[in-house]
Amino acid sequence: MNRGVCWLDGKLLPLDQACLPVLDHGLLYGDGVFEGIRFYAGVPFLLREHLRRLRHSGHVIALDIPWEDDQLAEITMSVVDAFEGEDGYIRMIVTRGDGPLGIDPAPCSSPRLIVIASDLEMVNHAARGEGVRLITAATRRLPPDGLDPRIKSLNYLNHILARIEANRAGADEAVLLNAQGRVAEGTADNLFVVREGRLLTPPVIDGALPGITRALILQLADEMGIEACEQSLAPYDLHTADECFLTGTGAELIPVRDIDGRAMKTCPGPVFQCCNQAFRQAIRRHCGGETR
């Protein structure tokens, strides 16, 4: 069992004692939204941005989030303070709450808030250093006219199917393409490539979550004078890239060493190293303390 603490229905509990009623529609139908937020030196990183995205996700699925941002921040801090460790990962979830069996959310009158603080290691330390191996999954990202990729909902099944493909292929992570065969993102992270000195990431319209780490990297690259932009990418662009890396709250920045068995020209490459250093500095500026 993971170590950690959980705020659930107004109580702060050890993680292994936090239990959910079986009629919660988050469990029955994936009806809910969530955020993953890291904290460093006891300070949540980019909390305001995460709360804004949570609220947008909730609004789009007509899920009322009755807690004000100040309350959510206070609950987050109580969970961080109760966690044994300065650095960790917060999972903030709002479900539709309990209701009768049946998909209709109308009878669910009380949304449920769950805030977990725990550890999260997306890949082990060695893989982080030498770079991870990706495959392009056969499973496609759901089209935006089916489910808008900007909604961070509790429905991750097509990402899970892609991750199963990666596991079975002995890879660390999968890249999802959209229905048109353009690169969307990883299963829980955004993707960047470097081509001819330019840092490129797929646009949201191609199926990428508007990642908060992604936005920060685009901003930091700009400040460092690295040309960076959104650009639609095909698998060809991944296979022939100079560098590739993944970004995300859980992932932080992870260099990629090969994709579908094609090695990147450099890993970790120079642009990755600049971005990673700037990312660490941004964390120190915001949160203080030492970070890896």
Catalytic residues: 152
Which span sits near ligand PLP by CB under 6 A: 12-20, 105-113, 198-206, 243-251?
243-251
Which span sits near ligand PLP by CB under 6 A: 18-26, 64-72, 74-82, 242-250?
242-250
Q: Site for ligand PLP (CB under 6 A): how many residues?
A: 14
Asked if 134 and 99 count as a contact pair (C-beta separation under 8 A), the reply is no
Give me the helices (H) in the chain, please.
25-29, 47-60, 69-82, 125-130, 157-168, 212-223, 235-239, 270-287
CA distance 155 to 238: 27
CA distance 64 to 33: 11
Which of 136, 139, 201, 213 contacts ligand PLP by CB under 6 A?
213
Least separation in angstroms between CB 142 and ligand PLP:
11
Among residues 62, 93, 59, 95, the alpha carbon closest in space to that of 75 is found at: 93
Least separation in angstroms between CB 174 and ligand PLP:
11
CA distance 118 to 277: 25
Which of 32, 44, 211, 269 contacts ligand PLP by CB under 6 A?
211
**Hey, is 128 helix, strand or coil?**
helix
Which of 209, 254, 267, 278 contacts ligand PLP by CB under 6 A?
209
CA distance 277 to 141: 31
Q: Kindly state whether residue 36 participates in binding ligand PLP, applying the rule CB under 6 A.
A: yes
Which span sits near ligand PLP by CB under 6 A: 9-17, 57-65, 96-104, 247-255?
247-255
DSSP conformation letters of 34-91: EEEEEEETTEETTHHHHHHHHHHHHHHTT----S-HHHHHHHHHHHHHHSSSSSEEEE
Which of 25, 199, 214, 241 contacts ligand PLP by CB under 6 A?
214
The contact pattern for ligand PLP, residues 161-200, with x = CB under 6 A and - = no contact, is ------------------------x--xxx----------
Q: Kindly state whether residue 201 participates in binding ligand PLP, applying the rule CB under 6 A.
A: no
Q: Is 171 exposed, middle or buried (0-12, 13-18, 19+ CB in 10 A)?
A: buried
Q: Kindly state whether residue 249 participates in binding ligand PLP, applying the rule CB under 6 A.
A: yes
Q: Kindly state whether residue 90 participates in binding ligand PLP, applying the rule CB under 6 A.
A: no
Which of 131, 248, 268, 269 contacts ligand PLP by CB under 6 A?
248
Asked if 92 and 35 count as a contact pair (C-beta separation under 8 A), the reply is yes
Q: Site residues (CB under 6 A) for ligand PLP? A: 36, 159, 185, 188-190, 209, 211-214, 247-249
